[in-house]
Structure 1
Amino acid sequence: MNLVRAELLKIRSTNTWWIFGLITLPLWGLALLINWIQSNFLLSPAATEGASADDLAQMAAAAESVNVATNLYTNGQFFGLLIVMLLAAIVVTNEYFHQTATTTFLVTPRRESIIIAKFAAAVILSALFWLITTALNLIAAPIVLSSLDVGTQLGEPAVWRAIGLNGLAYVLWAILGVGAGVLIRSQIGATITLSTVYILGTFGVALFVGLLADKFGDWVNKLQVLVPPIASGLMISGTELPGNPPRWVGALVLIGYALVAGVLGTWIAKRRDVS
């Protein structure tokens, strides 16, 4: 616990965490606006004009009250997970940026203990970000749902399940971030690389898989779940959506990535020279 408290103190003693916190708020607001517009479109008659049978089934499922609600109660996940991952990576890269890594490992020779403490600190930080965004969503979502003539849906178990799984996603992405920080020790390099891969990689893979689906069939689209941000989004869907894998597949994929990042990150930290 002393090591975890020390890692939390390191986070609090820098400006990085609250700068990222301030960035999170406008991104959350932007996501809310986008989700509001999207939900309004899904619930309008214009959404089904000229759509194929498969698209109609997917839109009908997405327009169900519980799915509209879960989307709003987990608002901001896409950008929120990116922020948490970057902060978790910085928990590691800060040591190299401020040249304190050698001292840290000399004071505590068991490197795995330090890395585990960093994982724990990143998880606590991710839980804090999840709690804040969830609190904002619990305030904003009922207002948006009321404007759409949809009830709050807070009596639906699927809504609370989605909120809980959203918290799990934040925790798993924090673990991914620490693992990535061990691999990419440069603070600037980690920030740029992870942001680029997260944003451009997500849309790039989705586009590429879509092109393959046109040639080989719709089954290829299900492979998108192997992309971590898409797996995170699948986890928090209110009901099973036509043409998509089950929610548990998204959770399993994300847990797999987190386990690999955690084990690999700890192993590399133990063996790599820090001088």
Structure 2
Amino acid sequence: MGNLIKAELRKTLTTKSWWGLLIPAVVFSFGFAFGWGNVVNEFGDYLGSSDARTLTSILGLDPDALPVGLLAMAHGINIGTIFPMIFGVFALAGEYGKKTISTTFLTAPNRGAALTAKMVTYIGWGVLYGVVNVLFASLGTVLTVDGARMPDTGQFIGVLGAGVLATTLATLFGIGVGAMWRSVTGSVITLMIYMLIVENILIIVAYASLDLDWLGGVLPNGAANGIVGAIGAEAFGAAGVTLPGLDAQLQWSLQFAAGAPGAFSWWASALIFGGWTLAFFGTGWFVNQRRDIT
């Protein structure tokens, strides 16, 4: 198994995809955190003065001490998570495209061993992407949000752990999509359209027209975003245990501001997205155990 993992690591290091996707992940995580940090730093103006007063009254906090930095960090990390997901697509779909999958399967003791080596290797890449995403999202937030409005040490550690978990699961999710599709182009286009456009439209329409404020918490992208975003929402009593006096519209607005509309809590989001990941990765695993590679 050790040799198989080394082989998988060499495959990724000798291609441009790992750093070619890490660069935009850095740019987007920093850029979105920087931009959103400018917005949420003036929290009273962003939510409206009456909402701000209601919220600070419920929380018992000074308006200048609200940890709005969590909202900016969550947005940056969540947008950056799409890139390790795309990177995961290359794990199997890339090998089918380059016609190297036969060699990979035939030089391993069995397909299960080859797929396990890929899983372990890409978990490591997911952790790397997670750490980098959190660091650059944090940098973008620090440059725009007042110090008193930044998360405390415990909250930052929570965001770091949640960010790493989200990108690791996203990488495995991408592997599953690519394993089922076998086409890098088809998988990436489908993921981008669904994750960034289709699901967001569904969530907004469902909330505005059908009053389904929870839909985003159960769909794949919404659940993935909720792993980190719900930590920001929870800091304002808008996820997990809802504070008395916080109306539903303000709650959903705070979840939206954290990039996780409909999120229940960070751990519930992790379980839900973990279920989606298991379904896609498991299906991809099963299909590739039986697929003809000639």
Number of the residue aligned with 2:69: 69
Cross-structure match for 1:102: 102
The residue type equivalent to 2:3 in the other structure is N
Match of 1:125 in 2: 125
Give CA-to-partner distance per residue, 1:102-148, whole Å, 9 cap, x none.
121111251111112112121111111112222224444333223xx
Separation in 1 of the partners of 2:9 and 2:46? 50
SS of residue paired to 2:68 = helix
Deviation (angstroms), 1:221: 0.8
CA deviations over 1:67-102 (Å, ceiling 9, x no partner): 413234445223221100110111111211111111
User: 5 Å matches for 1:85-100?
Assistant: 85-100=85-100
Q: Does 1:192 align with 2:178?
A: no
Rounded Cα–Cα distance in structure 2 between residues aligned with 1:129 and 1:84: 6
Which residue is equivalent to 1:263?
282
Q: Distance in 2 between matches of 1:256 and 1:50?
A: 39
Deviation at 1:151, TM superposition (A): 4.7
2:80 maps to 80
Give the gaps of 5 or more residues in structure 2.
Answer: 243-250, 252-261
Q: Which moved more, 1:8-17 or 1:234-243?
A: 234-243
- Per the TM alignment, residue 202 of structure 1 is displaced from its structure 2 partner at its CA by 2.5
Partner of 2:225: 233
2:206 to 200, 205, 209: 209
Structure 1 residues 251 and 113: alpha-carbon distance in aligned structure 2, compared to 1, 3 A threshold: same
Cα distance in 2, alignment partners of residues 261 and 196 from structure 1:
18
CA deviation string 1:30-57 (max 9, x = no partner): 212331133134x134631586x9xx65
User: 1:253 is matched with which residue?
Assistant: 272
The answer as to whether partners of 2:33 and 2:138 remain within 8 angstroms in 1 is no
Mark the CA change 1:141 to 1:272 in structure 2 (over 3 Å): closer, same or farther. Answer: same
**1:3 alignment partner in structure 2:** 4
TM-score (norm 1): 0.84
Where does residue 248 of structure 2 map in the other structure?
A: none
Look up the equivalent residue of 2:172 and give its one-letter code. I
Contact 1:70 1:163 in 2 (8 A): no
Is 2:20 the counterpart of 1:19? Answer: yes
Contact 1:119/1:174 (8 A) holds in 2: no
Matched-pair contact (CA < 8 Å) for 2:217–2:223: yes
Q: CA deviation at 1:4?
A: 1.5
**Residue type matched to 1:248 in 2?**
W
DSSP 3-state at the match of 2:21: helix
Moved more, 30-39 or 123-132: 30-39
Contact 2:216 2:222 in 1 (8 A): yes
1:20-169 superposed matches below 5 A: 20-41=21-42, 43-45=43-45, 47-48=47-48, 65=65, 67-146=67-146, 150-155=148-153, 157-169=154-166
- Secondary structure of 1:164's aligned partner: helix
Separation (CA, whole Å) in 2 of partners of 1:264 and 1:143: 43
1:176 aligns with 2:173: yes
> How many residues are paired up?
263
User: Residue 140 and residue 105 in structure 1: after superposition, are their counterparts in 2 closer, same or farther (change >3 A)?
Assistant: same
Letter in 1 for 2:169: L
8 Å CA contact retained: 1:66, 1:159? no
- In structure 2, the residue corresponding to 1:91 is in which secondary structure? coil
Q: CA deviation at 1:26?
A: 2.5
Unaligned runs of 5+ in 1: none
Q: C-alpha separation between the residues in 2 aligned to 1:72 and 1:163?
A: 14
- SS across alignment from 1:79: helix
Task: Give the Cα separation in 2 of the matches to 1:26 and 1:176.
Answer: 22
1:221 aligns with 2:213: yes
TM-score normalised according to structure 2 size? 0.79
Shift of residue 181 of structure 1? 0.9
Residue 210 of structure 1 deviates from its aligned partner by: 1.8
